[in-house]
Amino acid sequence: MAVQRTRVPDGDLPDTRALRRLRSALRDTIEALVDDRPVPKASVSVLNFFMQSAAASTRLAMTAEGLRAETYWQREFGGNPRLAFIATQAAEFLSDAAQVRRLRRCANPACSVIFIAVNPGAHGAHPAYAATGYASRGITAAQAESDGSPSGQRS
């Protein structure tokens, strides 16, 4: 997580409503891709809005280890660099057909997780993630396992 944290821009936490709007657009886009449906135009518009909400430029920095490219987020125009970063990273992933082919919906019908398969044969979310999906529906992991739902292979 520390490696990821160093890539996310500093700054204020985003507004909860904006974060939920971005999350919803991402979920709609990912579900459409996983289900082989057309991506909703509204979701693409929302993602584009967030990507453009905080302008960024790349600068070359000299370090003791050599040259390093750094992203400078221009906060003076408003927007939230963190949401812009998330939307930009998601757009790069979702526009890569090889990456999209790795997206899987958990085989367990009680689980709402969509995951990136490391193993091409993976069919289920890790039990810890699946339990989160169960909890959001008021189902315990034990109940889900006992109802005969397929748990699939774990990635």
Q: How confident is the model at residue 74 (pLDDT cuts 50, 70, 90)?
A: confident
Q: Where are the domains of the chain?
A: 15-96, 102-155
**Among 5-9, 28-32, 37-41, 79-83, the least confident range:** 5-9
Q: How confident is the model at residue 47 (pLDDT cuts 50, 70, 90)?
A: very high
Q: How confident is the model at residue 8 (pLDDT cuts 50, 70, 90)?
A: confident
The token pair that represents 87 in the structure block:
């939307």
Residue 38 has pLDDT above 80, yes or no: yes
Residue 42 has pLDDT above 90, yes or no: yes
Q: What is the pTM of this model?
A: 0.68
The average pLDDT across 102-117 equals 89
For residues 150 and 25, give the distance between their C-alpha atoms in angstroms, rounded to a whole number.
Answer: 29
For residue 119, count CB atoms less than 10 angstroms from its CB and return exposed for 0-12, middle for 13-18, buried for 19 or more: exposed
- Cβ count within 10 A of residue 5: 7
Q: How confident is the model at residue 151 (pLDDT cuts 50, 70, 90)?
A: very low
For residues 125 and 104, give the distance between their C-alpha atoms in angstroms, rounded to a whole number.
Answer: 9
The average pLDDT across 64-72 equals 89
The average pLDDT across 114-133 equals 65
